[in-house]
A and B are shown apart, each in its own frame.
Chain A
Amino acid sequence: MNDEKKLAMLEELMELDEGTLKPETELADIDEYNSMAKLSLIVMMSDEFGKKLTNDQIKSFKTVHDIMDYMA
């Protein structure tokens, strides 16, 4: 999956406008990256990528790129 597709998925998950997210965006700077978004991320990783994601792993993510790496 290419980076554009990954960014689009994350934008849809957080209900952000297209093109809002950049790989280098700090997660702490995204208002929409809240507890609901994090739970949605767990579901998306499981459904779309077959990957288990724990709360501890989520805490280790600092930038959008960290999430994209995990999506690989």
Chain B
Amino acid sequence: MINPMDLSGKRYIVTGASSGLGRQVCVTLSQLGANVTAIARREDRLKETLSLMEKGEHDYYFYDLSEVDGIESFVNSAVSKNGKYDGAVHCAGIGTLMPVAMSKYSFMKEIMDINFFSFVEMARVLSKKKNSNDEASFVAVSSAASEFTDKCKLGYTSSKGALDSAVKAMAVELGASRKMRFNTVNPGWIRTEMYNMIVEQTGAEHAEKTLSTHVLGITEPVEVANTIAFLLSSMSSKITGQNIFVDSGWTINSNND
């Protein structure tokens, strides 16, 4: 019997590894045999992620991705320690709700730095021939909100829409020579800390109303992590430059109001 999703011997960078979806991606990739370099800001929580993972040649770095200028030297040091990578998963992101009138440049810059620019910079450096193997696969966690937005989501929606477009440009330019692939996953509401924060701010009724339009109900982190693993694996070898909606049927539901 073969495991078509086998990632044995592969090595990936995973950002946002201390919580929510990023933590689950680390666990899922380790269960499929991959070696993971986990990145997050919070040391104690990152160590907790490591304790949940299957054994492997994993390592971790504490790094604040809003320091975009330092990503190149950080990636270079990871490569010199571990050798070439087979791709990366960008789960780090913030979902701060902010009305348009209060979405100042400083706020927009912060959300774009963490959600968007850090991915572009990491992929730019990691996709160099000296840093990654041919057929490397990159996945950025976008959001169904890139197409299906709401009040107070100017920053969030813009940053996710930028990711949706960036993977297309990277897929075209970097796919031809070395068969590298770039995709996003676009989840609906996932049961994570970000979800809890939004419920706290907008109220349980708002959450119930939104979830009622998710045909298959709320998404668990592992259900998105599985799709990410598929996009990293050779099972998806001709899928590139795509935005894969893992949104429980939210955005195709005509009962949305």
Chain A residues within 8 Å of B, Cβ to Cβ: 35-36, 39-40, 42-44, 54-56, 59
Contact = CB atoms under 8 A, between A and B. Distances in A.
Contacts of B151: 35-36, 39
A43 B202 contact: no
Nearest to A52: B200
B99 interface: yes
Interface of B: 97-99, 101-102, 151-152, 199-204
B243 to A, nearest CB: 27
B163 to A, nearest CB: 24
A48 to B, nearest CB: 11
The 3 lowest CB-CB distance pairs between A and B, nearest first, are A55-B203, A54-B200, A40-B99
Contacts of A54: 200-201
A40 B152 CA distance: 9
Nearest to A40: B99
Contacts of B99: 36, 39-40, 43
B97 A39 contact: yes
B200 A55 contact: yes
A43 B200 contact: no
16 contacts: A35-B151, A35-B202, A36-B151, A36-B152, A39-B97, A40-B102, A42-B97, A42-B201, A43-B97, A44-B102, A54-B201, A55-B199, A55-B202, A55-B203, A56-B203, A59-B203
A40 B200 contact: no
Nearest to A37: B99
Contacts of B200: 54-55
B110 to A, nearest CB: 12
A42 B203 CA distance: 12
Contact of B101 (A40, A55, A56, A59): A40
Given A40-B99, A55-B199, A56-B203, 18 more contacts: A35-B202, A36-B99, A36-B152, A39-B99, A39-B152, A39-B201, A39-B202, A40-B101, A40-B102, A43-B97, A43-B98, A43-B99, A43-B102, A44-B102, A54-B200, A55-B201, A55-B202, A55-B203
Contacts of B201: 39, 42, 54-55
Contacts of B98: 43
Nearest to B199: A55
